[in-house]
Amino acid sequence: MSERRPLIGITTYGPEIKGEEGIVRFSLPTAYVDAVRLAGGVPVLLPAGEAHVGDLLERLDGLVFSGGGDVDPELHCGGTHETVYGIVRGRDEFELDLARRVLARPELPLLGICRGMQIMNVALGGDLELHLPDRRGDGLLHRTVAREPTFHPVRVEAGSLLEAIYAAREFPVCSWHHQELRKLGSGLRPVAWSEDGVVEGVECDGHPFAVGVQWHPEMQLAEHPLQLRIFEELVARARSAPEVRGVRG
């Protein structure tokens, strides 16, 4: 009998109106699904609006919080900026609720990617710099002027989970963001940085695997197979989730 493949929930974009036909849609880049499958998990898409979040978590073995548009500033710093885009308040509220619940459940591994790491931070009481070039300048691009991804190296802390996963202290990442963590949420520890000081990775104290990365590992699998390792670690830890839940009752 083959080993059970764990169910990995992935948050989706939306709901948003797409195309000239004006249809409201949930969406997600296929790279997230591909990465979870390659790592041995079964992807389950999680659209915003689910009212019974507790029931949802009883059926999942791990979660990925995906990227996407900005988190509504009203939910963290209260400011405004002309570059803020893609706000979907319903998605923000759903993911913040989901994140707080998962962070309180150590048996459920969690990976936050780009916006997903920012959601983790806001869920724990942190806030975001609304446009990081205003603080860091343009010496290191984290997103091109055309709002396209770019690449730069990150450095990870010795002894961190990220160092153990990647077996490296420095490696290139695919970056596609214009905001950064400012005040860190309660219990979040920075463990990776770009050369201009932007926090690129966090881990949550007290949780065996609640990891956030500011880069997009799912977008690098062809050129840098090293990036699959973080999904493989998520799935490996998720394999034990049903058994842990049984022990915890």
Question: Residues 114, 200, 204, 207: which is the catalytic one?
Answer: 114
* Catalytic-residue membership of 174: no
CA distance 18 to 40: 32
Helical (H) or strand (E) element with 242: helix 241-248
Structure tokens at 65: 């919080």
Question: Residues 142, 207, 216, 233: which is the catalytic one?
Answer: 216
Structure tokens at 107: 């048996």
The number of angstroms, rounded, from the C-alpha of 91 to the middle of its chain's C-alpha atoms is 14
Spatial CA neighbour of 184 closest among 175, 193, 176: 193
Question: Residues 95, 200, 218, 233: which is the catalytic one?
Answer: 218
CA distance 232 to 40: 7
CA distance 12 to 188: 24
Q: Is 159 exposed, middle or buried (0-12, 13-18, 19+ CB in 10 A)?
A: exposed
* Catalytic-residue membership of 218: yes
DSSP string for 138-195: SSS-SS-TTS--EEEEEEE-TTSHHHHHHT-SEEEEEE--S-EE-SPPTTEEEEEE-T
* Catalytic-residue membership of 3: no
Instruction: Give the amino acid at 87.
Output: I
Catalytic residues: 114, 216, 218
